[in-house]
Amino acid sequence: MSENSAPLIIGFLCNWCSYAGADMAGTSRAAYPSNIRILRVPCSGRVDPMMIVKCFQEGADAVLVAGCHPGDCHYNEGNYYGRRRFALLRELLDFMGVERERFRVEWVSASEGKRFAKIVTDFTNEMTKMGPRKAS
Partner 1 sequence: MASDFTQQIREKARELLEDGTVECVIGYETGSDGISARPAFIYNAADVERLVFDNTCTHNLVKYLLNKKAKSTAVVVKGCDSRALNLLLSERQIERDKAFVVGVVCPGIVESRWNERSEQLQKRCDWCRQHTPVVSDFMVGDPVTEQPPADFADVAEEEAKTAEERAAFWQQQAERCIRCYACRQACPGCYCTDCFAESLDPEWVGIRIAPAESQMWNTIRAFHLAGRCISCNECERVCPVNLPLSLLNRKLEQKVLELFDYRAGMSEDAPAPLITFKKDEKLGIAE
Partner 2 sequence: MSRIGVFVCHCGTNIGGVVDVPKVVEAAKQMPLVVFADENKYTCSELGQASIRNAIDEHRLDRVVVAACSPRMHENTFRRTVAAAGLNPYLLEIANIREHCSWVHSDHDEATVKAIDHVQMAVAKVARHEALFPKTIGLTKRALVIGGGVTGIQAALDIAATGHEVVLVEREPSVGGRMAQLDKTFPTLDCSACILTPKMVDVAQHPNITLLSYSEVKEVRGFVGNFEVDILKKAKMVDHSKCTGCGTCWQKCPGKVSSEFDLGLGQRTAIYIPFAQAVPNKPVIDLENCRYQTFLKWDESQGGKKPPECRICEKICPTKSIDWEQQDEIVTEKFGAIVVATGFKTFDHSVYGEYGGGRYPDVISSLQLERLMSAAGPTEGEVVRPSDGAHVKNVVFVQCVGSRDDRVGRPYCSKVCCMYTAKHAIMLKEHDPDVQCYVFYIDVRAGGKDFEEFARRAQDESGAIYLRGRVSHIYQDGKNLKVLGEDSLIGRPVEIEADLVVLATGMEASDNADTLAQTLNISYTIYNFLIEAHPKLRPVETQTDGVFVAGSAVGPRDIPECVAHGSAAAVKAVALLSQDSLKSDPLTSIVDPMKCVGCFACKVVCPFNAIEEQVTRDKRTVSSINENLCKGCGLCVVACRPGAINLRGFTSQQLLSEVLTLVRE
User: Which residues contact partner 2 (rule: CB under 8 A)?
Assistant: 2, 8, 10, 15, 19-20, 22-23, 25-27, 29-34, 37-43, 45-49, 51, 54-55, 58-60, 74-78, 81, 85, 117
Close Cβ partners of 25 (under 8 Å, ≥ 6 residues apart): 32, 113, 114, 116, 117
Is residue 78 within 8 Å of 46, Cβ to Cβ? Answer: yes
CB of 40 or CB of 54, closer to partner 1: 54
The least CB distance from residue 51 to partner 2, in Å, is 6
Per the DSSP assignment, residues forming a β-bridge with 105 are 65
CB of 31 or CB of 110, closer to partner 1: 110
The least CB distance from residue 16 to partner 1, in Å, is 16
- Looking at residue 70, the DSSP 8-state letter turns out to be T
HSE at residue 20, side-chain half, CA atoms within 13 A, is: 12
Q: Examine residue 72 and tell whether it contacts partner 1 (CB under 8 A).
A: no
